[in-house]
A = this chain, B = another copy of it.
């Protein structure tokens, strides 16, 4: 019996492990242990080792957000895209049970390895949200402040709901946020 993978199947598995254990905590042996994928296969797909694995995961996450969140915010109906963001984000982060890997990497030394990817992810999120807010009627300054605040609170809510082991904190924060941004665009 021998299971055959391709790169695209492995990346989401790696993502979940990095999320749970962090970059330093995700050792090669724990990865093989949790996925059943041997070192040989891992190094076959990611010759650059752990760093390339994490890089691929970050790129995958970025691509998902680009398509599901940023692009709609930039190009679709503004109010609709913002509303979709709340539900997409709540689903994606599993009501706070799942962590934002980009945010987690930003907090420790791992930031130095992936500085560009981490900065980009948040810059583009804030920019996209600001764009939607302006199209929905905010001034540029107001939109910038609210966009920053929105992304900021999402990250904080992930920390807080995990710390308190209370997923209602996350969903509740999103609702409060949705109301505030909604009030500013009508």
Contacts and interface: CB of A to CB of B under 8 A. Distances in A.
A4 interface: no
Copies of this chain, whole number: 2
Q: Contact residue range for chain A?
A: 35 or more
Interface in A116-174: 118-119, 121-123, 145, 148-149, 151-160, 162-165, 169, 172-173
Contacts of A164: 119, 122-123
Nearest to A25: B24
A30 B156 CA distance: 29
Given A22-B108, A25-B108, A159 B103 contact: yes
Contact of A107 (B99, B145, B153): B99
Contact of A155 (B108, B145, B160): B160
Nearest to A108: B22
A162 B107 contact: yes
B122 A163 contact: yes
A159 B156 CA distance: 8
A11 interface: no
Given A106-B163, A121-B163, A153-B153, 16 more contacts: A21-B109, A22-B109, A24-B24, A24-B25, A104-B107, A106-B159, A122-B160, A123-B164, A148-B173, A149-B153, A149-B173, A149-B176, A151-B156, A152-B160, A152-B173, A156-B157
9 contacts: A20-B108, A21-B108, A21-B109, A22-B24, A22-B109, A107-B107, A111-B163, A121-B163, A152-B173
